[in-house]
Amino acid sequence: METFTKAQIQIVNDAVAMSEEIVCNFYKMSVNQWLRHRYDVKTLMDLDQTEIIQGPFAQIIRYKGRRKDTMLGSATYDFYKICIQDHAIIAALKSSAELTLFPFAVYIITHELIHIVRFARFLTGFDASQEEKLKEEARVHEKTYEILYPLGVPGMERAFEFYKNWLNPLENILI
């Protein structure tokens, strides 16, 4: 499977930094509030075999964490891992000459961070039914567009075009 180059990893790192700031500002969260959302972003190079999928550009996996100094079940917390699928993103970039890595990565990562905020605020359940997950995907794509559109990130219009089917009314997606 094709992985990002060092230059592409730097672009993805920049996209992660921008996405974190965008989502934090949109939801009006302080740094302390933001840091309570325990998550990490990893690319293909750092994923376990079980975290690699075909199709989607990223997935979120929920793990249970616990501080080392306690054995109490009540001390567990959710830890989310955003698993970036380099091979899928690279394939999309190759198939669409107008699509570029930075805005596409900002869209993907912003989208995944919105999911994490929604899980943490109990606006949706991580273990929802397939039907509810599909509806949630549509809601998060709409929110991603709402957050990113006013920013005018160069090249973002191509990412919006790529995801345009998710921006239609929910009824059209479920047909």
- For residue 29, pLDDT beyond 50: yes
166 against 7, higher pLDDT: 7
Measured in whole angstroms, the distance separating CA 133 from the mean position of its chain's CA atoms is 14
Which has the closest alpha carbon to 108: 86, 134, 135? 86
Query: Of the candidates 1, 151, 17, which has an alpha carbon nearest to the alpha carbon of residue 89?
Result: 1
Residue 74 banded pLDDT, cuts 50, 70, 90: low
pLDDT at 175: 34
Question: 21 has which bridge partners?
Answer: none
Task: Map out the domains of the chain as residue ranges.
Answer: 6-174
Look at residue 62 and give its three-state secondary structure. strand
Tell me the H-state helices in 27-155.
Answer: 31-36, 86-95, 101-120, 130-148
Position 46 scores a pLDDT of 95
Q: What percent of the chain has pLDDT over 70?
A: 83
Strand order through the sheet with 58-66: 39-42, 76-84, 58-66
Which of residues 35 and 103 earns the better pLDDT score?
Answer: 103
pLDDT of 173 over the 50 cut:
no
pLDDT at 67 over 90: no
Please state, as a whole number, how many other Cβ atoms lie within 10 Å of the Cβ of residue 83: 24
Please state the separation of Cα 163 from the chain's center in Å.
14
